[in-house]
Amino acid sequence: LQLTATTEAGSSLPAWLTFNTQTQTFSGTPSLSEILNIKVTATDDLGAFASDIFTLTVENTVGVKGLHSTYINIYPNPTEDYFYLTVGSEISSYSIKVFSVSGKEVRNFNTIKNTTTQKIDLSGIAKGIYFMEINLDGKFKVHKKVVLK
């Protein structure tokens, strides 16, 4: 049985987090608080596989104390073509990547500075479930789900 670990959206784990396939353990030292949705997939020799997703919450007392996904609001969600993303006033810049459930990046919004609310346009993307990776101040990432109806 071969085990792999990625983010829920299918991208690589953050640089600070490693998954040891031999011992089936995660290890690492984050620099700030972070919430990650991690997908672990087990594949057998015939190619059959099963996956599960779990949430890893890191609350670090060094750095931005208590900063986690409650400082991020997405509305409306579900939505049809766009949504608004609001971040806490202590965040000076952020960038957003939007991934399909298969892990393909479908949109990338470069660094957004000095605004706590931003309209995010997803028009032209097929209806379905998408995952966002929001990079806050270039220091840590938060993952959110958005539904296009």
Measure CA 45 to chain center.
Answer: 30
If you average pLDDT over every residue of the chain, what do you get? Answer: 85
The answer to whether the Cα torsion of 102, 103, 109, 115 is positive or negative is positive
Measure CA 65 to chain center.
Answer: 20
Separation between Cα atoms, residue 100 and residue 128, nearest integer Å: 8
Separation between Cα atoms, residue 123 and residue 126, nearest integer Å: 8
> Of 129, 136, 9, which is closest to residue 72 (Cα–Cα)?
136
pLDDT tens string 33-57: 778 899 999 999 999 999 999 888 8
pLDDT tens string 76-112: 999 999 999 988 877 888 899 999 988 899 999 988 8
